[in-house]
Structure 1
């Protein structure tokens, strides 16, 4: 007898360009130009989306060279659906995929916004400072 009452599901893949942009901005992350998103999404090494029925309510992706270096990016959940464990489920899925397919010794990084470092710590991520410091540049 199946007594799973969780209405949310995960699907392997990436969202549409419009859904990607909506998820990011609604979750308080910066927008990305539609053309850049359209060019980038197909190069996702692995992605997952969270759904409530037909509505996409969260996502996360892994990008990288497929061998030595990976980065977890775009992990977000719509505010109305936060606090229900979806971020943990997305991260559990992404890290399991890395453990299954990435070569031993691969370097996996991410940028933790705000208090997200608490979530990522559950999956073995540690702060790099003071030995190294995350940096960025916008073009």
Structure 2
């Protein structure tokens, strides 16, 4: 067998042998972002600080060869960051500014909210802290 298949086989065998004895399954919800902040976090002493950085993904269309240039386009994705820890909230208020480059590590949370027009919206949030 190839080494990858051997590892996969061992993992599946081990998982199936111990599945009956597991009460809780271990899992991971972790995301890392590096981007630029779109606007300053709102002022005030709220329980949560929210701001939104953007990440960019470059895409090439046209020729498939790496050394030949096709048309290059950029896809921008905005991320909603929620900071709950009091110390981190203070740091965000003090240092996070529109246009600043920021690295964020946290977990993904999916939910809903009502916008200012009372329309229910879906939200994906990165929670830090």
> What's the TM-score, normalizing by structure 1?
0.24
Question: Which structure is larger by alpha-carbon Rg, 1 or 2?
Answer: 2
Which of structures 1 and 2 has the larger relative contact order (alpha carbons within 8 angstroms, sep 6+)?
Answer: 2
Higher fraction of helix: 1
More strand by share: 2
> TM-score, normalised on structure 2?
0.25
